[in-house]
Chain A
Amino acid sequence: MAGGANSEPLLDVRDLTTRFFTEEGRVNAVESVDFTVHDGEVFGVVGESGSGKSVTALSVMDLVESPGEIVAGEVWYRDADLAGEMADDHPKAVDGDAVDLRRVPSEVRRSLRGSSVSMIFQDPMSSFNPSITVGEQIAEAVEVQRRASANPRSTRSRTQGFGLGSMVASTMESHERAIELLDEVGIPDPEARAEEYPHQYSGGMLQRAMVAQALAGEPDLLIADEPTTALDVTIEAQILNLLADLQDDLGMAIVLITHDLGVIARTCDRLGVMYAGEIVEHGSLADVFDSPVHPYTQGLLGSIPDLDDPAPRLNPIEGNVPSLLAAEMDDRCYFADRCPKAMEECLDKPPSFAVDGTGVAGRTDPTGTSATGTDGRKADTTAHTAKCYLADHEYGQARALPEGYFGGSDGGTDT
Chain B
Amino acid sequence: MSERLDRDERDVDGTSTANADEPLVTVEDLEKHYYENDSLLDRLSGRDPTAVRAVDGVNFTVERGETLGLVGESGCGKSTTGETLLGLREATAGTVRFDGEPVAGLSGDDEKAFRRRAGIVFQDPFSSLDPRQTVGEIVREPLDVHGIDTREEREERVADRLERVGLSAAQRERYPHEFSGGQRQRVGIARALALDPEFVVLDEPVSALDVSVQAQILNLLGDLQDEFDLTYLFIAHDLSVVRHISDRVAVMYLGEVAEIGPVEAIFERPGHPYTQALLESVPRANTAERDREVEALAGDVPSPRDPPSGCRFHTRCPHAREACREEDPERFDAGSGHEAACFRAVDEHAYWESAPLESPEERAQATESDLGERDERTADEPSA
A84 within 8 A of B: no
Question: Are B168 and A411 within 8 A (Cβ)?
Answer: yes
Q: How far is the CA of A260 from the CA of B284 in the complex (A)?
A: 10
B50 within 8 A of A: no
Q: How far is the CA of A266 from the CA of B73 in the complex (A)?
A: 20
A233-B278, A237-B294, A241-B294 as given contacts; A202 in contact with B300, CB under 8 Å: yes
| Residues in chain B near residue A315, CB distance under 8 A | 215
Task: State which of A193, A232, A263 has its C-beta within 8 Å of the C-beta of B366.
Answer: A193
Of the candidate stretches B102-110, B236-244, B304-312, the one touching chain A is: B236-244
Question: Are B297 and A307 within 8 A (Cβ)?
Answer: no
B30 within 8 A of A: no
Q: How far is the CA of A268 from the CA of B163 in the complex (A)?
A: 42
B290 within 8 A of A: yes
A99 within 8 A of B: no
| Residues in chain A near residue B292, CB distance under 8 A | 266
Question: Are B168 and A314 within 8 A (Cβ)?
Answer: no
Complex interface residues of chain B between 267 and 290 (CB less than 8 A to chain A): 267, 277-287, 289-290
Count how many chain B residues have C-beta atoms less than 8 Å from C-beta atoms of the other chain: 57
Q: How far is the CA of A97 from the CA of B166 in the complex (A)?
A: 56
Q: How far is the CA of A290 from the CA of B365 in the complex (A)?
A: 41
Question: Are B366 and A202 within 8 A (Cβ)?
Answer: yes
Question: Are B278 and A264 within 8 A (Cβ)?
Answer: no
Question: Are B296 and A411 within 8 A (Cβ)?
Answer: no
A7 within 8 A of B: no
| Residues in chain A near residue B369, CB distance under 8 A | 202-205
Q: Which residue of B lies closest to A320 (CB)?
A: B180
Q: Indicate the member of B183, B244, B297, B365 with the most A CB atoms within 10 Å.
A: B244
B88 within 8 A of A: no
| Residues in chain A near residue B284, CB distance under 8 A | 262, 265-266, 306-308
Question: Are B210 and A259 within 8 A (Cβ)?
Answer: yes
Question: Are B212 and A48 within 8 A (Cβ)?
Answer: yes
Question: Are A205 and B366 within 8 A (Cβ)?
Answer: yes
Complex interface residues of chain A between 184 and 243 (CB less than 8 A to chain B): 187-189, 193, 201-205, 232-238, 240-241
Q: Indicate the member of A265, A285, A302 with the most B CB atoms within 10 Å.
A: A265
Question: Are B214 and A411 within 8 A (Cβ)?
Answer: no
Q: Indicate the member of A241, A266, A268 with the most B CB atoms within 10 Å.
A: A266
Question: Are A305 and B240 within 8 A (Cβ)?
Answer: yes
Q: Which residue of B lies closest to A260 (CB)?
A: B283
B326 within 8 A of A: no
A316 within 8 A of B: yes
Of the candidate stretches B8-16, B193-201, B216-224, B340-348, the one touching chain A is: B216-224
Task: State which of A299, A307, A413, A414 has its C-beta within 8 Å of the C-beta of B239.
Answer: A307
A307-B240, A410-B168 as given contacts; A285 in contact with B290, CB under 8 Å: yes
Shortest C-beta distance, B295 to chain A (Å), equals: 8
Q: Indicate the member of B279, B285, B370 with the most A CB atoms within 10 Å.
A: B285
A313 within 8 A of B: yes
Shortest C-beta distance, A230 to chain B (Å), equals: 9
Question: Are B180 and A238 within 8 A (Cβ)?
Answer: no
Q: Which residue of B lies closest to A51 (CB)?
A: B210
Task: State which of A189, A240, A286 has its C-beta within 8 Å of the C-beta of B283.
Answer: A240
Shortest C-beta distance, B57 to chain A (Å), equals: 22
A236-B281, A237-B281, A265-B287 as given contacts; A48 in contact with B244, CB under 8 Å: no
Complex interface residues of chain A between 280 and 323 (CB less than 8 A to chain B): 285-286, 289-290, 299-308, 310, 313-318, 320-321
- B interface residue numbers (CB < 8 A to A): 73-74, 163, 166-168, 170-171, 179-180, 182-183, 186, 210-216, 218-219, 222, 237, 239-241, 243-244, 267, 277-287, 289-290, 292, 294, 296-298, 300-301, 364-370
Beyond A202-B370, A233-B73, 6 additional contacts (C-beta under 8 Å) are: A233-B237, A266-B294, A306-B285, A318-B216, A320-B183, A411-B168
* 9 A-B residue pairs with CB within 8 Å: A233-B278, A234-B281, A237-B280, A237-B294, A241-B296, A300-B212, A305-B241, A308-B284, A410-B168
